[in-house]
Amino acid sequence: MDNTVYSLGQKVLKELDAVLAHIPSQTSERMCEEITRARRIACYGVGREGLMMKAFCMRLMHLGLDAHVVGDMTTPPIGEGDLLIVSAGPGKFSTVLALMEVAKLSGARSMVITAQPNGEAAQRADVTIHLPAQTMASDLLAPASVLPMGSLYEIAQLIFFDLISIMLREKLGQTAEQMRERHTNLE
């Protein structure tokens, strides 16, 4: 087996291609529709999925949307007209389910990004976005990804989210320059 960075990378790119090829166009359209009609957006995920959700939230802010990461001290309350976007790759996390309940009781909609469209979080969500990729919950099943544990799902999230950002930029009539102007200068 050739285990050079290049050969492993080629295998991973094929796996990512397969994930993206299995996402119907109506999935991305639905996601964009929900995001553009939301008054305010709150994003949440745990572990590495949480990092991808933070990256997505940053892109939403770059687009001029009122987007916040759950858990930040400056995150406003969620309510009517708002959208909670959560990640639950393996199907559920206790914190995700609890936050979805808060959103529901507050009159907000919830969207779950998951590899398990029949999981508990998806069943409770208003909108489910299915990313068909290996997570830590399925990494022992054949055929296993070249990448460890849930990395394929997490990397697919990052790419998918940036592609959604491009679609949103076009739908919102934004330019790359406008997005750049919203980038922090406090680095």
- For residue 2, the model assigns a pLDDT of 75
Mean pLDDT of the residues in the chain: 94
Indicate if the pLDDT at residue 178 is higher than 70: yes
* Annotation says 181 is catalytic: no
Q: What is the mean pLDDT of residues 79-87?
A: 98
Could you say which of 15, 34, 49, 154 is catalytic? 154
Number of residues that this document lists for the chain: 187
With contact defined as beta carbons under 8 Å apart, do 88 and 121 qualify? yes
> What structural domains and CATH numbers belong to the chain?
22-179 (3.40.50.10490)
- pLDDT, tens digit, for every residue of 132-173? 998 877 766 667 888 878 889 999 999 999 999 999 999 999
Angle, in degrees to the nearest 10, between helices 151-171 and 47-62? 10
Instruction: Read off the pTM.
Output: 0.94
- For residue 135, the model assigns a pLDDT of 84
Instruction: Collect all residues with Cβ–Cβ distance below 8 Å to 177 and sequence separation of at least 6.
Output: none
